Structure 1
């Protein structure tokens, strides 16, 4: 076997392996008269400026994607998540009653709202803090974001379907609390002297001690 054929054989062995191939293994696979070190150096030179390079990994060799191509090889994949019933109800209550506090959400739903539900909606970018209500304890209020409107194809909050439309579509729970959805007209109860950034800084510290846990908040991830 001439040198060119030996070079092709070496290339094929390395290409076919999913793991780095040791020099010892290559020596056993190549012809006895092959200059393995010389062939490896030549092969490395051939692939030096290619999208794939021949890299030395310890005492082994392997073809790898060129380092400067790594950023272009990254594939972003979205994992769809199915909202729990609790998250859907909480989202609806916030949309129709904003700005609304956690306590008000719980009063409408009739059950406690766990922090996981709020975190999920925050992660989705559908809700945001709207300030603090001017009542004892000054609880944080929640409202929807432009992303919420975009996600559900709404021009504005006035485009939200009415109660009768929801009932007709079978999307409104028959429980009195959940059925009592009404859009608020003003933000009169909100403070206007503090910035949103200041509110967000201590928001999660205050909610850490909240111990209400709801079994409905499990998120099922579609495989």
Structure 2
């Protein structure tokens, strides 16, 4: 049972990360680092239209990248992501324990695989339907959909990349995006909530084709169905 709950915990953690993350890409491998320093914003430059910049991503079919999440400068999580069509793979590690998360949004199914235990937890992804559009490509699509929700602050250089800095507003939330002029997608997203500054950095982007086998569980893995597990648990009494 301890094994089952450790897998379940990993599933919940990764699902939480996916609901609040995105990424980026480029046509050649990047050598970006996760440095947090950047230059002061320059005056807005309208010579390169934002829509033209975002259009660089239209033909992207596959992407891999590293995502680093921090809160007030403290690293919370670091993961490697692979995406191809409806399929996603996320690899995370917590000390000696490594977890790999597989998602197929077409089939609405996901697995959290713990190699050390040779066990995978199967779960229904239907409950994440409204949160699945938190990918590198979706940031650009959201900007194109509603021009009233963002403003262009200017140009900055971040980790050696010249970026267009965008401020977005959604209800009471305000975020800043650094969109690489080379990539056409954010390489950093910052947001502030109740005084806490949260940052997502996207590095090491590649768009080379990813073999389908990359998104499949290894053979011989013991699979535990979360739905079956929950059915067997006693219901809470009033």
Instruction: Normalising by structure 1, report the TM-score.
Output: 0.26
Q: Which has the higher helix share?
A: 1
Instruction: Normalising by structure 2, report the TM-score.
Output: 0.25
Q: Which has the higher strand share?
A: 2
- Structure having greater relative contact order (Cα 8 Å, sep ≥ 6): 2
Q: Larger C-alpha radius of gyration, 1 or 2?
A: 1
